């Protein structure tokens, strides 16, 4: 019996329970997985009072940075990107890690993208840092566009190999200068950028949002001829990586990904 939950606020929209339960069914294991509303500032008390009820916890906004303050083992990747999306138990030890980056790279690989010359990341929060840290291994240049310079140093610390540039938010970025554009902002925050998408855009847009879908930016990108990946792909692969941390036996990742993609696509429509 495996016990999991996704924590965040708001959380009612999350497809994580559907996905994890579908994975349990596909893999033939018993499990329970729920969505629990945990507002900002309450993660420590929730974990203290209820951690014994679970084997792993998925974290979404606004808890990915707050989790760093918990009294847990924190792996080096999570320390570097200062963002965690998974708390899991191994023996008597709880560890905080992030599967956002590995999931993001797996989603890109599934779309046929294994190397990137130049990438623009929209937003500067925890997901942006996880994406930056992951892209560091496959991108030559990583540019981030954020609303203030407060998070610039944290983003730069997540990158050790690629060339890094930070830009203040503008309404008409030059999307044509990049191979990949990643939107990590909350729903609606990047809508006004849709007017900056040129006709015949060659770059791929990876929008980590999956509900509501399509976003205005994603719709315009598609209308202008560009390739679009949505957040279901990230949700899928980061979830598979979470399961690999907590299950004792290996499983067919490709077959599971195909199954979960079908489940999520049906639910999303």
Query: DSSP of 76-123, one letter per residue?
Result: HHHHHHT---EEEEETTEEEEE--HHHHHHHHHHHTT---EEEEEEE-
Specify whether 64 is catalytic.
yes
Report yes or no: 267 and 18 within 8 Å, Cβ to Cβ.
yes
Which residues are CB-contacts of 207 (< 8 A; sequence separation ≥ 6)?
A: 182, 183, 214, 215, 217, 218, 228, 229, 230, 231
Catalytic residue (one of 64, 115, 211, 227): 64
Neighbours of 172 (CB within 10 A): 10
Q: How far from 90 is each of 69, 180, 264, CA to CA, in Å?
A: 20, 36, 29
How far apart CA 65 and CA 151 sit, in angstroms, is 12
Contact 134, 156 (CB under 8 A): no
Q: Which residues are catalytic?
A: 64
């Amino acid at each position: 019996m495996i016990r999991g939950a996704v924590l965040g606020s708001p959380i009612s929209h999350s497809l994580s329970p559907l996905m994890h339960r579908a994975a349990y069914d596909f893999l033939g294991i018993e499990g329970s997985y729920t969505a629990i509303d945990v507002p900002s500032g309450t993660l420590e008390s929730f974990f203290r009072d209820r951690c014994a009820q679970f084997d792993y916890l998925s974290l979404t906004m606004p808890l990915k940075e707050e989790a760093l303050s918990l009294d847990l083992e924190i792996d080096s990747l999570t320390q570097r990107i200062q963002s965690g999306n998974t708390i899991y138990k191994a023996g008597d030890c709880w560890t905080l890690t992030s599967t956002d980056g590995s999931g993001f790279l797996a989603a890109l690989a599934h779309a046929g993208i294994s190397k990137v010359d130049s990438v623009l990341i929209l937003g500067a929060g925890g997901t942006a840092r996880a994406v930056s840290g992951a892209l560091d291994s496959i991108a030559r240049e990583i540019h981030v566009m954020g609303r203030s310079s407060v998070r610039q140093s944290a983003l730069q610390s997540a990158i050790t190999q690629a060339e890094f540039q930070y830009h203040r938010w503008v309404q008409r970025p030059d999307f044509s200068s990049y191979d990949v554009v990643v939107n990590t902002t909350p729903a609606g925050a990047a809508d006004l950028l849709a007017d900056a998408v040129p006709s015949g855009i060659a770059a791929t847009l990876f929008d980590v949002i999956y509900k509501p879908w399509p976003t205005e930016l994603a719709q315009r990108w598609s209308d202008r001829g560009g390739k679009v990946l949505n957040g279901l792909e990230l949700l899928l692969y980061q979830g598979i990586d979470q399961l690999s941390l907590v299950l004792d036996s290996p499983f067919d990742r490709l077959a599971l990904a195909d199954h979960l993609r079908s489940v999520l696509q049906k639910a999303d429509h």
